[in-house]
Amino acid sequence: EPEVTQTPSHQVTQMGQEVILRCVPISNHLYFYWYRQILGQKVEFLVSFYNNEISEKSEIFDDQFSVERPDGSNFTLKIRSTKLEDSAMYFCASSGGGGATDTQYFGPGTRLTVL
Amino acid sequence: AQSVTQLDSQVPVFEEAPVELRCNYSSSVSVYLFWYVQYPNQGLQLLLKYLSGSTLVKGINGFEAEFNKSQTSFHLRKPSVHISDTAEYFCAVTPSEFGNEKLTFGTGTRLTIIP
């Protein structure tokens, strides 16, 4: 069964450093998402992406964050200058179609630790 | 805006006993409702979803959930649990209007099955 994959599984970085989290969505999917979960808190929506542009973003997704689909298979989340409060599990998801009825398929997550 | 409350952060249950995981939501518009499960070291997997029609929804692995609009609840149930059901369970909602596919999650309930 097709699945969403994410690399790395765990990333440790120093405060102020740039990180890039990578995701390979399911191959025929067109809609892509990033969510995050700070330890002990809710899974929170960050951004949705379709047709090479952001379709919606949350207030968390400020200028330090960016997303890109650099080729036909990868979908990346970049944090330009990491802060301690960026430490969280980051989940990538994809769906075949837009709209609320289409199931979002999630990857296993990348745990980001900012020291 | 929507919000989801999962009152029970942890639920221990004996093997073969029934279980109910509670989910309540708040929304000013109609919503679709979802339950996701996260097994250790894996991504979020859709268990079931309510879009419309019958308020009793059956999902994978013997789980079912009932949508109660008057009580704004979507509780998850299983009549007899197995060790393999040990996981984190997340309730989520999204507005039913087209084009708004952002999922709003609860904080999750960790289900532990006691042999």
Give the domain CATH number at B53: 2.60.40.10
Average pLDDT over residues A30-37: 93
A110 domain residue, yes or no: no
A35 domain residue, yes or no: yes
pLDDT in the model for residue A73: 86
Average pLDDT over residues B26-34: 91
Q: How many CB atoms lie within 10 A of CB A23?
A: 26
A68 domain residue, yes or no: yes
Average pLDDT over residues A22-40: 92
- As a whole number of angstroms, the distance between CA B78 and CA B63 comes to 5
Q: Does A31 touch chain B (CB under 8 A)?
A: yes
Asked whether residue A7 carries a pLDDT value surpassing 70, the answer given is yes
Instruction: Decide if B107 and A41 are in contact by the 8 Å CB cutoff.
Output: yes
Q: Please report, rounded to a whole number, the percentage of residues in chain B having pLDDT higher than 90.
A: 77
Which chain A residue's Cα is nearest to B110?
A40
Asked whether residue B23 carries a pLDDT value surpassing 70, the answer given is yes
Average pLDDT over residues B19-29: 95
pLDDT band at B99 (very low <50, low <70, confident <90, very high): low
A100 domain residue, yes or no: no
Asked whether residue B4 carries a pLDDT value surpassing 90, the answer given is yes
CB-based burial label for B31 (10 Å; 0-12, 13-18, 19+): buried
pLDDT band at A98 (very low <50, low <70, confident <90, very high): low
pLDDT in the model for residue A42: 85
Q: How far is A81 from chain B (nearest CA, A)?
A: 26
Residue with tokens 């191959």: A27
Instruction: Decide if A101 and B43 are in contact by the 8 Å CB cutoff.
Output: no
- As a whole number of angstroms, the distance between CA A92 and CA A52 comes to 16
Instruction: Decide if B102 and A41 are in contact by the 8 Å CB cutoff.
Output: no
Domain extent, residue A25, equals 5-95
Which tens digits make up the pLDDT trace of A48-97?
999 889 999 999 999 999 999 988 789 999 999 999 999 999 999 999 87
Q: How far is B68 from chain A (nearest CA, A)?
A: 19
Query: Average pLDDT over chain A, rounded to whole?
Result: 92
pLDDT in the model for residue B98: 63
Instruction: Decide if B102 and A48 are in contact by the 8 Å CB cutoff.
Output: yes
Q: How many helices (H) and strands (E) does chain B have?
A: 0, 12
Contact at 8 Å (CB) between A11 and A110? Answer: yes
Domain count, chain A: 1
Q: Which residues of A touch B99 (CB under 8 A)?
A: 98-99
A45 domain residue, yes or no: yes
Q: What is the CATH number of the domain that holds A29?
A: 2.60.40.10
CB-based burial label for A112 (10 Å; 0-12, 13-18, 19+): buried
- As a whole number of angstroms, the distance between CA A63 and CA A58 comes to 12
Q: Does B25 touch chain A (CB under 8 A)?
A: no
Domain count, chain B: 1
Instruction: Decide if A101 and B42 are in contact by the 8 Å CB cutoff.
Output: no
Instruction: Decide if A100 and B97 are in contact by the 8 Å CB cutoff.
Output: yes
Q: Does A56 touch chain B (CB under 8 A)?
A: yes
Size of interface A-B (CB pairs under 8 A): 64
A43 domain residue, yes or no: yes
A107 domain residue, yes or no: no
A79 domain residue, yes or no: yes
- As a whole number of angstroms, the distance between CA A109 and CA A34 comes to 10
Asked whether residue A44 carries a pLDDT value surpassing 90, the answer given is yes
Domain extent, residue B103, equals 3-114
Asked whether residue B100 carries a pLDDT value surpassing 60, the answer given is no
pLDDT in the model for residue A97: 75
How many alpha carbons lie under 13 Å from residue A27 in its C-beta half-sphere?
A: 2
